[in-house]
Structure 1
Amino acid sequence: MSTPTPPPGYGPQDPQQPGQYGQPGQYGQQPGQYGQQPGYGQQPGQPGQYGQQPGQPGQYGQQPGQPGQYGQQPGYPQQPGQYGQQPGQYGQPYQQGYGPYGQPGAYGGGIPGNLAAWPNRVGAWFVDSVIIGVPCGLGSAIANVDNSVVRIFGVLLYLVGLGLAIWNIIIRQGSTGQTVGKQVLGLKLVGADTGQPLGAGKTFLRQLTHVLDGAACYLGYLWPLWDEKRQTFADKINNTYVIKL
């Protein structure tokens, strides 16, 4: 009788079958090592990690295309700003027309905390009076001299003082909120409803209503001494504040 031929893999190594453990053809093993499925539960063709979905480098159970976190959802979209912060907080510039502390409508219907003190207002008035009064006073005095040439010079000097008054009180204060005197004392005239300078037209109307401040022994000019809003009569009529910068 002939000797039975052993099955492939038993006995001497079959030259057709490479002879290391885990290679095809040894002891009936499946491809891989020692009967393993590729990658301990990996789907075929997945390199490297346990249970990864195809094409994911380096992490366990990640969703496709997300490097570096465990099971992280794509991107966790953030709101603009920091940590879901709504746009425009922390660093948002104040808008024009907003008064102290960024309250809408300049002062939000309240009284600003930086109202000018009465002595400061008097000091600003004094500086403006000197700037306007010196040329006007000298011009008036010289204009009464008998010499016609000197009279003409006096009239011109008076007109210079008048021009300074219009520029300083109406034009300059209307556009910036400050006369020269208010700038020196750090004051500013603003509208209570806007927190901004009044403009030349409203400033001129306010100047006309100072006539009421001068009535009854200048009571209107003294009113800021005890008034809660530190307003003269002209300020109350025109809805204005003088504030300290």
Structure 2
Amino acid sequence: MDPLVRREDFDGWSQLVINRPSKLNALTVDLFRELRAHIELLGDDERVRCVVVRGAGKCFSAGHDLGDIADGEPVPSRGWHSETLRLLERLPKPVIAAVHGHCYTGALEVALACDFILAADNARFGDTHAKWALTPVWGMSQRLPRRVGIAAAKRLMFTCDMIDAAEALRIGLAERVVPLRDFDEEVEALAIRIAANSPFSHRANKRLLDATDARPLDAGLAWEVMESEGAGPDMKDRITAFTGKKS
């Protein structure tokens, strides 16, 4: 039986592939169990310096499987999905959501738990909680306004409108849009560039950004000065490799 989330390892980076292409990668409890297991392993894997999350087949994911919801969807604990996405968000290495095709509701919540979204030009985004008389419990109400602003988040949540990649880029939901024909190549090139940089800096920068998000500027500046982790163990080697001069 094929895994519901497939891990693919490359030189310095890994890819988690949501793998229910016949169901447009709709998200179930069992799929989240596999996703969580991969996240937990990646956290301690020092060989991996960047993680890409993407979908198999035609799209990233059409969202939460409505059939799973209708069947009662037994979860291990209250808030378990949200907790899983927080684990993804707190991985001590950059995490990219590589989105092509559908990215709706629960799928958008997964993408928002990544550090940023790289979108193919055929990507479409939307939040349909209100269409089904649901309210978010995976993080939409917290991460979406932080990404796009409160007014844009309300518009998307109230209308349930689908937006294309160009609109996602305009409002700051997607960080970059590339042609679908070049998507795989661009995802790989981006992951390689990130993986080439210091894992110490990636870990320290994520901690710094998370700790100071939404703080007043002066408080954030003070935190940066007092809590900065300074130079990493690979600093001298990296500078020596660049300058050719040994200290």
Q: TM-score, normalised by structure 2?
A: 0.22
Bigger radius of gyration, 1 or 2? 1
- Tell me the TM-score normalised to structure 1 length: 0.22
Higher helix proportion, which one? 2
